[in-house]
Amino acid sequence: MFSVEYTDYDREIWEAELESFVPDKLFDVHCHLWDEAHAGSNTEVDSCLRYNTDGKVMFDWSRQIYPNRKLGFYFLGTPLLGMDVAKHNEFLLQESTTHALPAAMIVTPQVTADQIAALLERGIAGLKPYRVFSNDPAECSIADYLPEYQMEVANAYGKAITLHLSKRHGIAAPENMRDLAIYVKKYPKVKWILAHCARAFNSFTLEGQIHRLAELGDNVWCDTSAVCDPYSHFLLMKYFNIRRILFGSDNIGAGSDRGSYITWGRAWAFFPGSPCPHCDGRATFVIYEQLRAMKKAADMAGLSKADLEAIFSGNAHDLFGAALFS
């Protein structure tokens, strides 16, 4: 059950640092729904991903952390090993219908083309593969967890695929950039959404690839979810197409953890904060740390109000081609 307290400290950070930065409309393209009834054989009982979260919970929490904002969401499934994929995807479709918002189904290499097509026909807006469903989650290739027949179905329907890259160097791994270039060209009707700034939690992964990434074309998008490295956001804001950057939070589980994603060397990891005798060591939410990073990057890149409105909602409208706010 989701039960995170919103404290006066969190409110102070929002009011002092973020309220003047976040536009009036906010559409989150990377947030996860979950229902414990779909856990199947999964035993990750301490996983922050396993908060019971339907569309109402997502709206209620988001109204608290982004006060006085008009909200919309692209609901993603939550990819966990052993889960009941079919039941979870039915749940996503139901929440999509209830809230008149797009949702992405979970796909594993075992999900067939016919199963995908059937859900797309019924209104699912995209696919959510994940590296954990491969035989080697740390070093798998894209097709190891997203077989090409699934790309073919998404291409036939012109749907989105939210892709979390694998390999220890992410987008900097030559195989990933090579494969992306091939698939983007081969499946031009797919709306490729590269999660987590193309998984640039550590900006080193993006520094040598940003120009090549930008050259892949207008059917490649990047979402901002959970990245707390300002330079990763800056690289996208400076050299990528502003109209292809999408706000995402990784809420509720990861985005609403207290702490930050920190970097060192060529690594990154979640850090929950620590008591500090020399300063205030309390931690706020990852999503607030992400927004702080985005604010710094936007300032350095000289983004306009219109640019920010595009990132936080306008680009999602272009992507989904629908009225996303009531």
Question: How large is the average pLDDT for residues 228-243?
Answer: 98
Rounded to whole angstroms, what are the CA distances from 323 to 54, 123, 132, 146, 240? Answer: 21, 15, 33, 29, 25
Question: How large is the average pLDDT for residues 216-238?
Answer: 98
Give the SS3 label for residue 36: helix
What are the residue boundaries of the structural domains of the chain, listed by start? Answer: 8-320
Closest among 172, 306, 142, 298 to 224, alpha carbons compared: 298
Q: Which residues pair with 191 in a beta bridge?
A: 160
- What is the pLDDT, as a whole number, of residue 245? 98
pLDDT digit string, tens, across residues 140-189? 999 999 999 999 999 999 999 999 999 999 999 999 999 999 999 999 99
Q: Which helix (H) or strand (E) holds 73?
A: strand 70-76
Q: Is residue 302 predicted with pLDDT exceeding 90?
A: yes
Full-model pTM:
0.96
- What is the pLDDT, as a whole number, of residue 46? 57
pLDDT digit string, tens, across residues 34-61? 999 998 888 775 566 778 899 999 999 9
The residue ranking higher by pLDDT, 73 or 51, is 73
Structure token pair of residue 256 = 């609403």
- What is the pLDDT, as a whole number, of residue 284? 97
What does the angle CA 290 – CA 170 – CA 226 come to, to the nearest 5 degrees?
Answer: 15
- What is the pLDDT, as a whole number, of residue 222? 98
- What is the pLDDT, as a whole number, of residue 1? 56
Q: Is residue 80 predicted with pLDDT exceeding 70?
A: yes
- What is the pLDDT, as a whole number, of residue 2? 63
Q: Is residue 196 predicted with pLDDT exceeding 80?
A: yes
Q: Is residue 97 predicted with pLDDT exceeding 80?
A: yes
The residue ranking higher by pLDDT, 4 or 262, is 262
Mean pLDDT of the residues in the chain: 95
Contact 161, 194 (CB under 8 A): no
Query: Domain 8-320: which topology?
Result: TIM Barrel (3.20.20)
Q: Is residue 231 predicted with pLDDT exceeding 80?
A: yes
CB atoms inside a 10 Å sphere around CB 17: 14
Closest among 73, 32, 85 to 226, alpha carbons compared: 32
Q: Is residue 200 predicted with pLDDT exceeding 60?
A: yes
- What is the pLDDT, as a whole number, of residue 253? 86
